[in-house]
Amino acid sequence: MITQHNILVVDDEQVICDLVREMLESCGNYSVVAETDPARALAMLETTGFDLVLTDLIMGDYTGMQVIEAALDRNPDTIVVLMTGYPTIETAINALKYGAYDYVTKPFKLEVLKMIIERGLRKQQLARENMQLKDQLALFKLAEAMGTTINLNSALNQVLKLGLREFSADAASILFYDNNGSGKLILQAIQSVNGDDINTPFLEGETEHSHLAIRTKIVEIENVVTSSGAGSGVPRKTTSYLSCPLLARNRVIGLLNIERRNFHREFSSGELQCLKIIATKAAYAISNSRLYDDLEKAYLSTLLALANAVEARDQYTSGHTVRVTYLAELIATELGWDGDRLFSLTMGCSLHDIGKIGVPDSILNKPGKLTDHERQVMERHTELGARIIEGIPFLQPCIDYITSHHEQWDGSGYPKGLKGEEIPIEGRLLSVADTFDAIVTDRPYRRGKSVEQAVQELVDFSGRQFDPFIVQVFIEALEKNRDKINTIYNLPTDESAYANQPSTQVASQPTARQAEAKAGLA
């Protein structure tokens, strides 16, 4: 692939501009902008990068030194050649000090100028590729770190961030490819620099670029050149669309699509080499994340099956876990929890009684009062539940729900007898939801009570068994969701007595730690 270079010629003599432009354009691989007004040329250099700038030394009130500074300030690797009709040693030294690559003396032979330009551009290309090769070690280390992540969203966002940065791109996306027959491309992540100024169909895999990359298993590139007419004063720009297949064991698992708009050149060989590194690590990271997600799902399925098995042993607790989880989510939402914390709450509530799998049926389903020994066996279910999940890293946030939902505010609970805010907020929250459900539903030894009675019992034991602040928040949540609660517990739609429960019966102003809890910080 022949690289076309953007060149700016600045000279206040129209004849020189026309002569140089005609000579360079005849070579076929140069896009030339010629400018006789140095002020306009300086303004152009503020917004546009050129591979090479050819400038006169003296141009009225302007000098070539100003052009050199502007060009190098925009792109430090720009090759600048100075043209002068006043050749002196001092002029040559000053030009080199300012950063010029070389200079030619007027009148000059076109062949000599052409040779200087070609030599300068070769030097520039080698320098750029050498810099890219030096950067590849750092890039490889970064990509290695990216490849070790097990969080899929994190991995995808790191890939896109790398792509935008390394290729000076405007937008990038990752799509997953369904190898199981449908052949669909599913958009997984997208990032852009300029907001809505992107080619959405391309980034969403709806153009031929993506399908061709999948079929060929090689990078597909389309370069759309915005070409200016001779002497238009508008430099040549290229918009590139690149689709790179992500391969795992020679199977396409996805695509990395990159859009670079109005750039001064096409993708270089060094950039494509970087792309191979990123694509390889991206495929590795995605495969790792998918395996981890599958492992998570397998763990959860097994543990939830165990939790459901506990409920299946007792018809009276059927649906208890689902109801308690819903009630706990109402409290957490009122506290402002979201994201990972809310997910951990859902898992913790779903698994909070998993330790009862080790409690004998004779104790678990006993209709009467438990003996001291039987109560001790029952109370061990919190610690047994923690041991069941202790070797599963992603379930560690569930432990406080499992171990502390029977702790009591006054320190009389189990298993550790924690008191007040020594009890993790997860346990304090779940304790309220768990107890409410136990009061309202039928049990072997009694009929369920009304919502009004359950709320009154929570209020009565607030400050002894329950965190007063959490009780208050729970009542507020009940008031906002009364219709849903009535449906869940099969109550009359006019059941709303608890809505009239005075909040002043529950607690005074929350402590600083409780205020943090409501902000989702505890």
Per-residue pLDDT tens over the stretch 266-300? 887 777 877 887 788 778 777 777 777 777 777 77
What the block records as the tokens of 23 is 């000579």
CA distance 241 to 260: 7
For the ranges 342-346, 362-366, 403-407, the lowest mean pLDDT is seen at: 362-366
Determine phi and psi for 137, rounding to 5 degrees: -65, -45
CA distance 466 to 420: 9
Per-residue pLDDT tens over the stretch 88-135? 778 778 888 888 888 888 888 888 888 999 899 888 888 776 665 555
pTM across the whole model: 0.51
Cα→Cα distances 6→51, 64, 129, Å = 5, 19, 18
* Residues whose CB is less than 8 angstroms from the CB of residue 465 and which lie 6 or more positions away in sequence, other chains included: 408, 409, 410, 412, 413, 431, 435
Q: Where residue 181 falls among pLDDT bands split at 50, 70, 90? A: low
Q: How many CB atoms lie within 10 A of CB 107?
A: 8
Segment (H or E) for 493:
none
Per-residue pLDDT tens over the stretch 23-41? 888 877 788 899 999 999 9
CA 488 to the chain's CA centroid: 37
Q: Which residues of 261-278 are buried (b: 16+ CB within 10 A; e: fewer)?
A: bebbbbbbebbeebbebb
What the block records as the tokens of 503 is 């909040």
Segment (H or E) for 239:
strand 237-248
